[in-house]
Amino acid sequence: MRTRLLAVVAAGTVTILGLTACAPAHTPHEAAQHSATAPAPSPTANPYGVGAIDPPAASEPVLTVNGGRTPLSLTLDKLNALGSQTVTLDEPFVKRRETYTGVPLAVVLSEAGIPDNATIDTVGLDDYHYISAAKPMIESRALIATDRNDAPIPYDQGGPIRIVFPDGTPLSSVLDAWNWSLASITVKTPSGPGS
């Protein structure tokens, strides 16, 4: 399993989330000494990072798609306008049933003019890359989720958009394919490997 950090750039500063999860445990005496120099880490109940981050502005693109016939720069509203589906699945990182609503990856790739035999690179805000042929992701009914349990997905919990897979599909058990805090999709090989 990989460890991922989420970096957010705002007003010319960079905030890196997730570092407190790596902080060493302290005894109460050490914690008191440590708190004089730095704030104590707050516990988190999710594997994605810590700290609340404001949601994206309505005019802020949350997904760019490049390398097809039509480059896309999509806000949440533009992404959702492409059509949505809802699926309830076993979320493997938090280990509970959750309901996600979003746009099928196949629809986004089609809108961008990317064939299903292309190789694509999905990139998260933390610069995590998952490179795959598009076809297995489409066949696994990849969903670019914009809502979880009827609410927007917070940045600090893998949002505002992420890729999820319905239970029982080939990529539902490939955790690396579940790219959270998705930022971009780029064609690496237009007609797939070896073309």
Q: Is the residue at 195 inside a domain?
A: no
The reported pLDDT for the residue numbered 136 is 97
132 domain residue, yes or no? yes
Can you read off the two tokens belonging to residue 152?
A: 């927007």
Is residue 87 assigned to a domain? yes
Splitting the chain (195 residues) into consecutive groups of 10 residues, what average pLDDT does each group show? Answer: 42 38 38 40 45 73 95 96 97 94 98 96 94 97 97 91 97 94 92 52
Q: Is residue 50 part of a domain?
A: no
In a domain, 164, yes or no: yes
d(CA 185, CA 5): 19
pLDDT at residue 51, as a whole number: 61
In a domain, 47, yes or no: no
In a domain, 46, yes or no: no
- Domain residues for the domain of 123 are 61-187
Please answer whether residues 5 and 19 qualify as being in contact, where contact means their C-beta atoms are separated by less than 8 angstroms: yes
CATH number at residue 83: 3.90.420.10
149 part of a folded domain: yes
Tokens of 155: 């940045």
Distance from C-alpha of 109 to C-alpha of 68, rounded to nearest angstrom: 8
Q: Which residues contact 50 (CB under 8 A, 6 or more apart)?
A: 17, 18, 20, 21, 41, 42, 44, 156
**Amino acid 1: pLDDT:** 42
Task: Give the model's pLDDT for residue 53.
Answer: 67
Number of domains in the chain: 1
Q: Which pLDDT score, from 0 to 100, does residue 34 have?
A: 38
**pLDDT in the model for residue 155:** 86
